[in-house]
Structure 1
Amino acid sequence: MKKVSILGKEQKSEHIWNVDEERKEHSNPTTFSELLGLNELFSLKVWKASVAELVGTAVLVFAIDTIVISSYETKTNVPHLIMAILISITVAILLLASYPVSGGHINPAITFSAALVGIVTLSRAVIYILAQCVGAVLGALALKAMVNSTIEETFSLGGCTLTVISPGPNGPIIVGIGAAQGLWLEILCTFVVLWASVWMAFDHSQAQALGSVIVLSIVGIVVGLLVFVSATVTGAKGYTWAGMNPARCFGEALVRGGHHWYGHWIFWVGPTIACVAFYLYTKIIPRQHCHTVGSNMISSTL
């Protein structure tokens, strides 16, 4: 029995995004302050971790928007495919780089979902989301400082836009998609990211079996696939792809302004609805998973 117990302990591991051992102390909060995790508002450790979220999101915005611009500037018949592949690699690398410090969210949708399912406190989530928004603004400013005005106007800094205003023979032409279509794309694409990849990190059994490198790489691959699908299925030149990251969209809108604010609420409301839907899904599915053999069988023996 001791041998089995030791083996069980060795096989135990944290959730990929469970970034603080101290969270175990608050597994059964008894006060409103503990429920919200208000003590983390004054935790230097949490604020230091948020710096990784800030830097990670800044690099994400700069890298992804550069990829968008360069993909469309490249003389190829499949810019969407090139863009999706490069974004997959970029997202995976940035998640792997930031998760040891902060949990590697770099996306308010992931942070909000983590708070809903109880992996991080609401206070930590607020700090992270603020850091992500600041980082997104810095990333957009860095890109704006590097590109010329023609590129900026043509590609809208690679930002989250439902429409693009382009010059025409008889005046400006607005091309893109409608608000309803954009909202549904944000809801569905964000939910798929959470359901098909992020849940592997939230679920103890899958995170333990696969490991952080595989899980976070899968997140990047799923994001890249949804970028390709959302950009291709609409067939609209004025629409780049589903944002799935409110902070990224906010940074570009604040720096670029203008038509970036048109329908900007969609890039917040859509992911929020997806997060709530994902939370409800986690409450509906069975708590015990029969697909994992090793750890569950050992723990049930103890």
Structure 2
Amino acid sequence: MAKDIEVGGDGSEFRAKDYHDPAPSPLIDAEELTKWSFYRAIIAEFIATLLFLYITVLTVIGYKSQTDPAKNADACGGVGILGIAWAFGGMIFILVYCTAGISGGHINPAVTFGLFLARKVSLVRAVLYMAAQCLGAICGCGLVKAFQKAYYNRYGGGANELADGYSKGTGLGAEIIGTFVLVYTVFSATDPKRNARDSHVPVLAPLPIGFAVFMVHLATIPVTGTGINPARSFGAAVIYNQDKAWDDQWIFWVGPLIGAAIAAFYHQYILRASAAKALGSFRSNSNI
């Protein structure tokens, strides 16, 4: 069983833990630029995000086509919101599983940002990952438009926009909380303490991450179409290129980045090592 360090106020001995947190990544790691594994990881992030946007945007457009009143289609037909949520969550599960051993399986600038704040990745890696993710998203949406241009333009290109009847504050809040759920799940599923205690955790880690994406989509599709991934929103906006998508674009960057920062702080400094140190200090003070 993995154990944390136990701190006793009476001077009792520390009990060594049988897991080790990886050393914090350097802020600037120029040595990474000389390694093929670094560029391989960037390529993996690009391709994974391209595939993610291609499949999910096609699903969104297909659903709107299947329920189009102008075609006398069944309003209750198609995959529905549930099917769209499954498409997003399922693709994240698949792609994280495929790329976790190569790039870490971020596929989302908000996840990369949260891991950077927690010192899990360097600034160099974080910036290039985000660039690869955004470029992959643009190319993924570009493929959808190339194959189905008429449908793409008619049904909104899968672009994220704030729904009618909701304020910008409501949309921002939905993106913050939704991204918090996702990034908090990422931290929990990849926690080295859990990996040491439960040998099955590394294998199953993509599953809760995919489920987190699925659940957040169920809750927030009616509000913002669900961003929680700046690259997803940015790529769709670039290819669709309509005023409404650009006017609301800031929500899909500010919200996810704030949510990721809160999740990183909560997991690293409330639930992990800093919390154990704080508890030890409280116990010590109580015996003075």
> Does the alignment reach a TM-score above 0.5?
yes
TM superposition shift of 1:153 = 3.1
Contact 2:65 / 2:155 at 8 angstroms: preserved in 1? no
**1:256 aligns to 2:248 (yes or no):** no
**Per-residue CA shift, 1:32-90, capped at 9, x if unaligned?**
xx432233244332122100000000000111111112233344367111211232222
Q: Distance in 1 between matches of 2:204 and 2:220?
A: 24
Contact 1:105 / 1:111 at 8 angstroms: preserved in 2? yes
Contact 1:162 / 1:262 at 8 angstroms: preserved in 2? no
Matched with 2:130 is 129
Point out the more displaced range, 61-70 or 154-163.
154-163
Matched with 1:39 is 31
Contact 1:50 / 1:127 at 8 angstroms: preserved in 2? yes
Query: Superposition pairs for residues 1-302 of structure 1, below 5 Å?
Result: 27=23, 34-74=26-66, 75=74, 76=76, 79-149=80-150, 151-163=151-163, 175=164, 177-195=166-184, 197-208=185-196, 209=198, 210-232=200-222, 234=223, 239=224, 241-259=225-243, 260-281=245-266, 282-287=268-273
**Per-residue CA shift, 1:1-47, capped at 9, x if unaligned?**
xxxxxxxxxx869x8xxxxxxxx6xx378xxxx43223324433212
RMSD: 2.4
TM-score by length of 2: 0.77
Give identity over the alignment, percent. 30
Q: Distance in 2 between matches of 1:110 and 1:138?
A: 20
Q: Quick one: structure 1 residues 109 and 200, their matched pair in 2 at CA, closer, same or farther if it must change by over 3 Å?
A: same
**Per-residue CA shift, 1:262-284, capped at 9, x if unaligned?**
12011111111112211221212
TM superposition shift of 1:229 = 1.0
- The count of residues paired between Structure 1 and Structure 2 equals 246
TM superposition shift of 1:113 = 1.0
Q: Distance in 2 between matches of 1:85 and 1:59?
A: 15
Contact 2:175 / 2:256 at 8 angstroms: preserved in 1? yes
| Gapped regions of structure 1 (runs ≥ 5) | 1-10, 16-23, 164-174, 291-302
TM-score by length of 1: 0.74
Matched with 1:300 is none
Q: Distance in 1 between matches of 2:190 and 2:101?
A: 15
